Structure 1
Amino acid sequence: MMNRKTIFEAGLFCLAALSAQVVLAENPPNVVLIFADDLGYGDLGCYGATKVQTPNIDKLASQGRRFTDAHSASAVCTPSRYGLLTGEYPFRAQGGKGIWGPCSHSQSLLIDADKLTLAQLFKNKGYATAAVGKWHLGFGTGKTDWNKPLRPGPLELGFDYYFGVPKVNSGFPYVYVENDAIVGYDPNDPLVFGKGITPSKTTTYPPEAGKKTANQFGGAKKAHAIYDDEKTGMLLTEKAVKWIEGNKEKPFFLYFPTTNIHHPFTPAPQFKGTSQAGLYGDFIHEFDWMVGELMKCLEENGLTENTLVIVTSDNGGMFNTGGQDAFAAGHRQNGELLGFKFGVWEGGQRVPFIATWPGNIQPNTVSGQLISGVDMLATFAAITGQTVEKKQLADSINVLPALVGDPAAPLRDTLVLCPFRRTHLSIRKGKWIYIPGQGSGGFKGAPGTHAAGGPACVSFVGNVNSDIEGGKIKTGAPPAQLYDIEADVNQTTNLYNQYPEVVQEMQALLKSHEPAKPPASERTSQKKKKSR
């Protein structure tokens, strides 16, 4: 039982939290949103990892709040970023066509310039805004022309400054972009793409580093020479620190989407061999260092007390070759959760989420509130004292009370879960999760392959699921899935046959959310997309 002193202290904290919400608009905090790539639920010490050490992130958890039921907007990189920045489920994007997979090198900007984004929200309040890191949301209109200013892009979505990797560290073009131009671009040596070209040289790594698609761009030799995977993490951190120091005199919003820990696993040399989980774990160590450097910058510039820092991920961990090497060493990237990146099972989209904000978020606390990446828009609107029309808020819910207080009731009761395959768009309501098909709707490769996942890998890692035996869906398994996530967070038992009335209710609820099916040509196109 709580003693009187504990009750009194808790009461004082609640009063302080309520007071903080009242004065937020008068003294808005800086916000640093650190968005890791492929960081799984089990990839941090504060979430149970033992083969990797993450002291900087663990310190943040001890100073703030750790969420145990946080979810990315999608189990896939590009749509997850779309949902985070817009507050809209990615299946609603592009007029209902949706965004389901990673975008290609020629993809136009996927976010309409007139849509409210996190950056524009902050900019409307007078904040300085920057995105430093992986973009992966396309550039321009029509097919991207890399030899022209890359507009529209981040700058048209409310960011004052952008520096980073334009697509993904495993996919060409292997260059850096600053604002709307390729770093080191020479108009006399343009990027070229197509049959018959000689690809420009770029850094390569041994197989154990994981898949890096061979470069298919020629030209731009200087720009290609500047790009170096093993220096990217430190370079992005340096750019972010420099930007904070140059914008500390006014409120600022920094969106820091890292390339860590997406394959290829290319930590800087000083991090190699520092974990007990191979290059996968070493890349996590570099990510933890990056977080530590940002926190050090805030402290040295007297910014810690009035800065909200959030660390989360774009989706769950991927069971690629690096992930498999880490598993062989005893590391479980998604903890005991079922599934992996791309899939709708919990391992694909339940992610770490840590928030710290001195004086507002109670230190060393844990919350079981259901929250999503799409909720950041409404939450940041509340933090900055802005009223946003319902249409622009889209699917976003204000979860500020879960950050600064301890609500007795759930803030979010329903959440749509977005995997790679449209057929597996799923829904959660309260304790129930309904998946309208068998399997995860994600990767299906066998262990030993890059795109490993699905039933074969469930059995391989020792997870138990009532529909799966020997790495395959059992004959006669139910056609869809229903889980009681409160009693069975690891999704061991499909209750589809036991609760037909719940299934019927969940089917109707999902139908009320899901978009119309696209033309057959679009469905065929999606099937042909390569894994990233």
Structure 2
Amino acid sequence: MNLPILVVGLLLLGGCTSNPRSEVKQKATAAQRPNIILLLVDDMGFADVGCYGGTFVPTPNIDRLAAEGIKFTQYYSAAPICSPSRVGLTTGSAPGKFNITSFLDTRRHNRQCEQADFLVADAPSVARQLQAAGYATAHFGKWHMGGGRDVDNAPGILRYGFDAYASTYESPDPDPLLTSTNWIWARTDSIKRWRRTEYFVDKTLAFLKSHPNQPCYINLWPDDVHTPWVPDESTLDAYPNGTEKPREFKGVLAELDRQVGRLMAGLREQGIDDNTLIIFTSDNGPLPNFDGSRATPYRGSKLSLYEGGIRMPFIVRYPARTPAGRVDQQSVLSAMDLFPSFVTLAGGASSLQPRTDGEDVTPALLGKPHAHTAPLFWEYGRNSKSFRYPLGRDRSPNLAMRQDNWKLLLNDDGSQLELYDLARDPKEVTNVAAQHPTVAANMRQQILAWRAALPAPPEAPLTK
């Protein structure tokens, strides 16, 4: 979008925050296919926002999403770091199947991590699947599944099934308004660091407005909760490279909440609020963790397979079909479940879906708790040189598995076996492997077999 179009979009949105829902004619019915907005925050901890116990700053708009929808307490990302977690969401499959196990960076870094340079274009894509089902599709925000730095051959975002996009530096197609230099952000960017989420919300609302008779699927993936934090011009003057201090974190979190409020108001203004499904979640755990407070009550952080690195806030709001004010403490959900569930909600034929690792959890998204039938698996780390963080007690083994209430962690060489009963010990304090040898042995066998079945790391950059 060029600047004149952006200005027009802002004028159209002016004043919408004061328009109460009761004044807008809502036309949604259960038979309509919903708009789907996947609002994926970057590095948000389980306890960052008020409705999950956060006390950093008030987050009334995010809390209202939960009050008007369903708040889940047992949702898991596909990985404890950004690139593989996003691959899991996009493909509905374990990111290791595409050889993406850490954040994507330079070719040298990717080789050191024993991973690919980008997600291959022919990988399953939820956007492509919904596009085939008649949806208009868009990606606004961080991509980080290939492109940037010296990786100049990553497929363009349109090749994954998107009709429109605006993305940041860590993509094959960075928006020039966000990337005046060859880096993530700069003082000279036309859209300043602290205005990015506003920009992406404007893009989202404009895209919806331009498709009044077509359902839309939109990735709204803001990146401002990821360090370095730059909430305003004065911070940039004081910290030219950004900062990781609590004061600035509170600033970016407050701004994110304001933009969630603008998004919701814009949906009401367009009369599509009732028939829009919003998923609010995070790609992985927080870093810095401020002495564990951002992931409370869980152990771990970003880069860790303990709960604090992979258990995420997850809110579903879909007024036409979901109950309001519900807290689901029973359903165990995975990021990989969203692919088949979105296809079902979009009216797509399940027989035409590519095979994924996720389960269709549509009933849970609509208010009926879901018991996950298959175990969940995670991988983070293929060598000790590139995967040596976080330090201390939050550094986990490089494999993890959850089956019912049991959580097993293990290194792929068989060392450091840990077993936790999450029903009794959600903070993962007491390793009970010795007390439950049969459970530990069975899960150990499963997780090592799962790891052995993943493809071998690439020996050279992928060019497909």
- Structural mapping, 1:124-273, within 5 Å: 124-139=132-147, 144-145=151-152, 152-167=155-170, 177-178=174-175, 182=176, 203=186, 225-226=189-190, 228-268=192-232
Deviations 1:23-75 (A, max 9, x none): 96x52111111000000100010000122211001001000000000011111
CA distance in 1, matches of 2:70, 2:228: 31
The separation in 1 between residues aligned to 2:314 and 2:417, in whole angstroms, is 29
Letter in 2 for 1:395: D
SS in 1 for 2:452: coil
The secondary structure found in structure 2 opposite 1:392 is coil
1:497 and 2:434 aligned: yes
Q: State the match for 1:349 in structure 2.
A: 310
- Looking at structure 2, the residues matched to 184 and 292 of structure 1 have their Cα atoms a distance apart, in angstroms, of 23
- Judge conservation of contact 2:70–2:367 (CA < 8 Å) in 1: no
Secondary structure of residue in 2 paired with 1:416: strand
* Distance in 1, Cα, partners of 2:178 & 2:403: 50
**Map of 1:243-392 to 2, 5 A cutoff?**
243-268=207-232, 277-319=246-288, 323-324=289-290, 327=291, 332-368=293-329, 369-389=331-351, 392=354
Alignment of 1:338-487 (within 5 A): 338-368=299-329, 369-389=331-351, 392-407=354-369, 410-421=371-382, 424-437=398-411, 479-487=416-424
Describe the shift of the 1:355–1:381 C-alpha distance in structure 2 as closer, same or farther (beyond 3 A): same
Cα 1:412–1:516 change in 2 (3 A) is closer
TM-score (ref. length: structure 2) = 0.78
* Gap regions ≥5 residues in structure 2: 1-28, 111-115, 237-244, 384-396
Q: Summarize the Cα distance change of 1:68–1:278 in structure 2 as closer, same or farther, 3 Å threshold.
A: same
TM-superposed deviation, 1:236: 2.1
- Identity, % of aligned positions: 30
Partner of 2:9: none
Cα displacement string for residues 84-114 of structure 1 (whole angstroms, at most 9, x for unaligned residues): 0110011111xxxx21111015688733323
Question: Are the structure 2 counterparts of residues 416 and 245 from structure 1 closer, same or farther at C-alpha, using a change threshold of 3 Å?
Answer: same
CA distance in 2, matches of 1:307, 1:315: 25
CA contact (8 A) 2:168 2:179 kept: no
Q: Distance in 2 between matches of 1:227 and 1:59?
A: 28
Q: Give the Cα–Cα distance (whole angstroms) in 2 for the partners of residues 156 and 99 of structure 1.
A: 18
Instruction: Give SS of 1:305's match.
Output: coil
- Equivalent residue, structure 2, for 1:104: 105
Alignment of 1:41-120 (within 5 A): 41-93=46-98, 98-105=99-106, 110-120=118-128
Distance 1:48 1:92 in 2: 35
Structure number with bigger Rg = 1
For the structure 1 residues 202 and 414, does the alpha-carbon distance in structure 2 shift closer, same or farther, using more than 3 Å as the test?
closer
Deviations 1:316-349 (CA, angstroms, capped at 9, x unpaired): 1112xxx43xx5xxx8110110010011000000
CA 151–101 in structure 1, closer or farther in 2 if over 3 Å, else same: closer
Checking the alignment, whether the CA contact within 8 Å between 1:374 and 1:396 is kept in structure 2 is: yes
RMSD: 3.3
Distance in 2 separating the partners of 1:484 and 1:334: 19
Matched residue, 1:467: none
Change (3 A) 1:164 1:517: closer
- Whether the 8 Å CA contact 1:110–1:138 is kept in 2: the answer is yes
Q: Give how far 1:151 is off.
A: 6.4
- Quote the Cα distance in structure 1 between the aligned partners of 2:155 and 2:252: 32
Judging changes above 3 Å, is the alpha-carbon distance between structure 1 residues 100 and 234 closer, same or farther for their aligned structure 2 residues? same
Distance 2:306 2:69 in 1: 28
Structure 1 residue identity aligned to 2:168? V
Secondary structure (helix, strand or coil) at the match of 1:283 reads helix
Alpha-carbon distance in structure 1 between the residues aligned to 2:381 and 2:202: 33
Q: Please tell me the residue identity of whatever aligns with 1:399.
A: V
Change (3 A) 1:515 1:388: farther
Task: Give the Cα separation in 2 of the matches to 1:143 and 1:428.
Answer: 37
| Partner SS state of residue 344, structure 1 | coil
- Kept after mapping to 2: 8 A contact 1:305/1:358: yes
CA shift digits 1:115-136 (9 cap, x unpaired): 3311112111111110000011
The alpha-carbon distance between structure 1 residues 166 and 201, as it changes in their structure 2 partners (threshold 3 A), is: closer
Tell me if the contact between 1:133 and 1:163 (Cα under 8 Å) persists in the aligned partners.
Answer: yes
Specify whether residues 437 and 201 from structure 1 end up closer, same or farther in structure 2 by C-alpha distance, changes over 3 A only: closer
Cα drift, residue 152 of structure 1: 2.2
Does the 8 Å contact 1:316/1:340 carry over to 2? yes
CA positional deviation for 1:494: 0.7
Structure 1: where are the runs of 5+ without partners? 1-22, 192-198, 205-223, 442-477, 526-532
Q: CA deviation at 1:289?
A: 1.3
